[in-house]
Amino acid sequence: MAKRDYYELLGIPKGATADEIKAAFRKAAAKHHPDLNPGDPQAAERFKELNEAHQVLSDPQKRLMYDRFGVEGGGAAGSPFAGGSPFGGANPFAGGGFPFGQGGVVDIGDIAVDGFLGDLLGVFGVGKGDKGDVKRSLEITFEEAAFGCVKNLSFERLEVCGDCTGSGQGANSRIETCPACSGKGRIRFQQGLLPLAVERECTRCKGRGRTIVDPCKGCHGAGLIQKTHKVEVTIPAGTDHGSAKVVPGAGSRPRSDRSPGDLLITVEVKPHPFFKRQGDDVVCTVPIGFPTAALGGEVAVPTLDGKGAMKVPAGTQPGATLRLKGKGIPRRTLGGRGDQLVLVSLEVPTKLTDHQKELLLAFATALGDDVQPEQRGFFDKLKDLFQD
Ligand SMILES: [Zn+2]
Ligand SMILES: [Zn+2]
């Protein structure tokens, strides 16, 4: 049987204020209280329903969820689950295999919590079990990535408390059954809006089922303390941006009696002002003047090894790529190094003196057609095109 709409139950409109909800509940509760209806066996059920409606609608967070997802058979318009609760009859996972059956019990630890389901469980405050993994990024320079380096990485992690060696108990400690879970270590709860019970580890005792009275002073009974841990990370030559490294067991302990998680390092390579990486090759752009391009010569070029020199052959065209063999990134597996690819850009002077202009004009006159074959070819084609 479908549940009745909470607003309808209390006899109030959807936009009712908190005061209106409270007043409506008081009025209805007074009328339906089981003590006042001794001969009516339905009264207790009705009263329970009213109570539930009031509990949800008087809590802004729960009301928002209710308005958005609705209850069984009463999906709110515009809800992604219109027609029912996310796990009701119209649920997207309906039919076979899905762990969320109608009224079923779900151990959150047993299913993969990610994607859509993870988001949804996140909304209900049910998170993925903490394994103690610690994620850190490590920033290095372009040169450090190319040639390798050793870096120190500091991070905070939870370690076993030295004062109590993880027991959480001090000299005067007393152990009591956890009042939150009655010693079971797990809490089963019904969201009220969902037709399922969810079970999770008790947060009060972290699943131990007992709590410590007058606990260890060092860790307040947690058995764990936060400490700064340092690791030395060796970055091999040829490491690229985004490379990841896992250091097993270097993460946090989720609990003093559980093994620590892993440290997950992601390498971030800072951009270089001149160089870009292309596989094992280093690419850069070098501007040269027209005389050098025409006559050839040697120009200064930055390389990974410092200031270098590059021979420019006579007649080098703008956009040409010149190669400096073995000046690239060291190869991790094959050995040797990639090349440095130098893209030649031609710089045209922007300010000329009268004397320079005269020289350039005289040069242009003396140049003729023969020495610029591409230009001659271009004009020949033009002539063909406009013959008549
Ligand atoms: Zn507990
Ligand atoms: Zn301690």
Does 25 reside within a domain?
yes
CB 210 within 8 A of CB 152: no
Task: Please tell me which of 29-38, 49-58, 177-186, 276-285 the model is most confident about, judged by mean pLDDT.
Answer: 276-285
| Beta-carbon contacts of residue 213 (< 8 Å; ≥ 6 apart) | 173, 174, 175, 176
Per the structure, the complete domain to which residue 78 belongs is given by 6-92
Report every protein residue that has its C-beta within 5 angstroms of ion ligand 2: 161, 163-164, 216, 218-219
Least confident range of 76-80, 161-165, 210-214: 76-80
- Does residue 41 carry a pLDDT above 50? yes
Ligand number with the minimum distance to the CA of 184: 1
One-letter amino acid of 20: E
> 243 falls in which pLDDT band (50, 70, 90)?
very high
Gap from CA of 333 to ligand 1 centroid (Å):
53
> 42 falls in which pLDDT band (50, 70, 90)?
confident
Gap from CA of 7 to ligand 1 centroid (Å):
35
Does 110 reside within a domain?
no
Gap from CA of 203 to ligand 2 centroid (Å):
18
Q: CA of 328: how far to CAs of 65, 282, 306, 335, in Å?
A: 57, 5, 12, 12
Report every protein residue that has its C-beta within 5 angstroms of ion ligand 1: 178, 180-181, 202, 204-205
One-letter amino acid of 45: E
310 phi, psi to nearest 5 deg: -130, 135
Gap from CA of 210 to ligand 1 centroid (Å):
6
One-letter amino acid of 192: G
- Does residue 71 carry a pLDDT above 90? no
Query: What tens digit of pLDDT does each residue of 156-207 get?
Result: 999 999 999 999 999 999 999 999 899 998 888 766 666 667 788 888 888 8
Query: What tens digit of pLDDT does each residue of 5-27 get?
Result: 888 888 898 888 888 888 888 88
Gap from CA of 250 to ligand 2 centroid (Å):
20
- Residue range 241-259: mean pLDDT, rounded: 91
Q: Are residues 294 and 258 in the same domain?
A: no
Domain count, the chain: 4
d(CA 163, CA 219): 8
Gap from CA of 211 to ligand 1 centroid (Å):
7
Q: Are residues 290 and 335 in the same domain?
A: yes
Token pair 């609705």 is found at: 70
Last-in-domain residue among 223, 243, 269: 269
Does 119 reside within a domain?
no
**Tokens read off for 270:** 């800072």
- % residues pLDDT > 70 (the chain): 79
CB 340 within 8 A of CB 281: yes
CATH code at position 280: 2.60.260.20
Give the residue, 40 or 310, on which the prediction is more confident.
310
Gap from CA of 198 to ligand 2 centroid (Å):
32
Ligand number with the minimum distance to the CA of 185: 1
Mean pLDDT (the chain, rounded): 80
| Beta-carbon contacts of residue 277 (< 8 Å; ≥ 6 apart) | 142, 240, 241, 269, 283, 329
